Structure 1
Amino acid sequence: MVRHVHDGGDSDAREPLLAGDREDPHETEEEGEIIFDRSTSNIPCDASGSEERRLTYEEAVEKAGFGLFHWLLLVVCGWANASDAVEILCVSFLLPTARCDLLLSSSDMGLLTASIFLGMMVGGYIWGYLADQRGRRKVLVVSLTVNGVFGGLASIAPWFWLFLLLRFISGIGVGGSIPVIFSYFSEFMPRLRRGAMISALATFWMAGNILAAGLAWLVIPRTWAHFSLGTLDFQSWRLFVVLCSVPSLTSAILFRLLMPESPKFLMEAGREKEAIRVFQVMFKLNMWGRGKDLQEFGLCVGSKQRGEPEETRTRSSRRERLACILKKALLPIKQMFNGSLRSRSIALLIVFYCISFGYYGLWMWFPELFERMENGGSPCSNLSIPSPLRNQSCYPVKTAVYMEGFIIAASNLPGNIFTILMIDSLGGKALLSCSLLVSSLSVFLIYEVQTKVQSLILSCVFSGVSVITWNALDVLGTELYPTQLRSSALGFFTGVGRVAAIMGNVAFGRLMDTNCAVPVLLVSALLLTGGLVALVLPQTKQTELT
Structure 2
Amino acid sequence: MSRDTEVRRPLLAGDHLDPRELESDDGDVVFERRSSHITHEAGGSRSKRLTYEEAVEQAGFGLFHWLLLVVCGWANASDAVEILCVSFLLPTARCDLLLSSSDMGLLTASIFLGMMVGGYVWGYLADQRGRRKVLVLSLTVNGVFGALASLAPWFWLFLLLRFISGIGVGGSIPVIFSYFSEFMPRVRRGAMISALATFWMAGNILAAGLAWLVIPRTWAHFYIGWLDFQSWRLFVVLCSVPSLTSALFFKFLLPESPKFLMEVGQEKEAIHVFRLMFELNMKGKGKTFPEFSLRTNSKQRGEVEQTGIWCALKRGLMPIKQIFSSHLKSRSIVMLIIFYCIAFGYYGLWMWFPELFERVEDGGSPCANASIRSPLHNQSCYPVKTAVYMEGFIIALSNLPGNIFTILMMDSIGAKALLVCSLMVSSLSVFLIYVVQTKAQSLILSCIFSGVSVIAWNALDVLGPELYPTQLRSSSLGFFTGVGRVAAIMGNIVFGKLVDSNCAVPVLLVSGLLLTGGLVALLLPQTKQTELT
Q: Which residue of 193, 197, 203 maps to 1:198? A: 193
Tell me the equivalent position of 2:353.
Answer: 366
Contact map agreement 2:208 2:393 (CA 8 A) in 1: yes
Residues 305 and 260 (structure 1 numbering): CA distance in 2 closer, same or farther, change over 3 Å?
closer
Contact map agreement 1:99 1:389 (CA 8 A) in 2: no
Q: Does 1:68 align with 2:63?
A: yes
Q: Does 1:339 align with 2:326?
A: yes
Q: What is the number of equivalent residue pairs in this alignment?
A: 501
Q: Does 1:515 align with 2:507?
A: no
Tell me the equivalent position of 1:82.
Answer: 77
Tell me the equivalent position of 2:114.
Answer: 119
Q: Separation in 1 of the partners of 2:174 and 2:84?
A: 17
Tell me the equivalent position of 1:8.
Answer: none
Q: Does 1:477 align with 2:468?
A: no
Q: Does 1:503 align with 2:498?
A: no
Cα deviation, residue 39, structure 1: 8.1
Cα deviation, residue 340, structure 1: 1.4
Q: Separation in 1 of the partners of 2:239 and 2:84?
A: 10
Give deviations 1:315-345, integer Å, cap 9, x for gaps.
xxxxx72111111111111111111111100
Letter in 2 for 1:360: Y
Cα deviation, residue 367, structure 1: 0.1
Tell me the equivalent position of 1:406.
Answer: 393
Q: Separation in 1 of the partners of 2:445 and 2:174?
A: 29
Give deviations 1:374-425, integer Å, cap 9, x for gaps.
1211100112336354422100000000000000000000000000111101
Cα deviation, residue 53, structure 1: 1.2
Q: Which residue of 223, 245, 258 maps to 1:263? A: 258
Cα deviation, residue 47, structure 1: 1.6
Q: Does 1:183 align with 2:217?
A: no
Residues 336 and 309 (structure 1 numbering): CA distance in 2 closer, same or farther, change over 3 Å?
closer
Give deviations 1:68-93, integer Å, cap 9, x for gaps.
00000000000000000000000000
Letter in 1 for 2:278: F
Contact map agreement 2:90 2:104 (CA 8 A) in 1: yes
Q: Separation in 2 of the partners of 1:159 and 1:240?
A: 17
SS in 2 for 1:47: strand
Give deviations 1:238-288, integer Å, cap 9, x for gaps.
000000000000000000010000000000100000000000000000011
SS in 2 for 1:291: coil
Q: Does 1:207 align with 2:193?
A: no
Cα deviation, residue 43, structure 1: 2.5
Unmatched runs of 5 consecutive residues or more in structure 1: 1-37, 314-319
1:430-445 alignment runs, 5 A limit: 430-445=417-432
Cα deviation, residue 309, structure 1: 6.1
Tell me the equivalent position of 2:34.
Answer: 42
Cα deviation, residue 304, structure 1: 1.9
Q: Does 1:529 align with 2:516?
A: yes
Contact map agreement 1:356 1:498 (CA 8 A) in 2: yes
Q: Which residue of 221, 228, 237 maps to 1:226? A: 221
1:219-258 alignment runs, 5 A limit: 219-258=214-253
Give deviations 1:104-135, integer Å, cap 9, x for gaps.
00000000000000000000000000000000
Q: Does 1:449 align with 2:436?
A: yes
Normalising by the residue count of structure 1, what TM-score does the alignment of the two structures yield?
Answer: 0.90
Q: Separation in 2 of the partners of 1:303 and 1:466?
A: 43
Q: Separation in 2 of the partners of 1:460 and 1:54?
A: 51
Tell me the equivalent position of 2:7.
Answer: none
SS in 1 for 2:240: helix
Stretch of structure 1 that moved more, 381-390 or 288-297 = 381-390
Q: Separation in 2 of the partners of 1:434 and 1:389?
A: 44
Q: Which residue of 354, 368, 375 maps to 2:341? A: 354
1:369-384 alignment runs, 5 A limit: 369-384=356-371
Cα deviation, residue 296, structure 1: 1.2
Q: Separation in 1 of the partners of 2:207 and 2:359?
A: 21
Q: Does 1:466 align with 2:453?
A: yes
Cα deviation, residue 214, structure 1: 0.1
Tell me the equivalent position of 1:324.
Answer: 311
Residues 386 and 369 (structure 1 numbering): CA distance in 2 closer, same or farther, change over 3 Å?
closer
Residues 189 and 305 (structure 1 numbering): CA distance in 2 closer, same or farther, change over 3 Å?
closer
Tell me the equivalent position of 1:110.
Answer: 105
Tell me the equivalent position of 1:316.
Answer: none
- Percent identity between the two aligned chains: 82
Give deviations 1:476-520, integer Å, cap 9, x for gaps.
001000000000000000000000000000000000110010000
Residues 306 and 108 (structure 1 numbering): CA distance in 2 closer, same or farther, change over 3 Å?
closer
Q: Separation in 2 of the partners of 1:389 and 1:322?
A: 48
Q: Separation in 2 of the partners of 1:260 and 1:387?
A: 52
SS in 2 for 1:154: helix
Letter in 2 for 1:98: A
Contact map agreement 1:42 1:58 (CA 8 A) in 2: no
Q: CA RMSD in A?
A: 1.4
Tell me the equivalent position of 2:160.
Answer: 165
Q: Separation in 1 of the partners of 2:151 and 2:217?
A: 18
Q: Which residue of 204, 211, 221 maps to 1:216? A: 211
Q: Separation in 2 of the partners of 1:105 and 1:307?
A: 50
Q: Separation in 1 of the partners of 2:156 and 2:287?
A: 59
Q: Separation in 1 of the partners of 2:455 and 2:95?
A: 36
Tell me the equivalent position of 2:146.
Answer: 151
Residues 184 and 509 (structure 1 numbering): CA distance in 2 closer, same or farther, change over 3 Å?
same
Tell me the equivalent position of 1:129.
Answer: 124
SS in 1 for 2:487: helix
Cα deviation, residue 291, structure 1: 1.3
SS in 2 for 1:339: coil
Q: Which residue of 405, 411, 415 maps to 1:418? A: 405
Contact map agreement 1:45 1:56 (CA 8 A) in 2: no
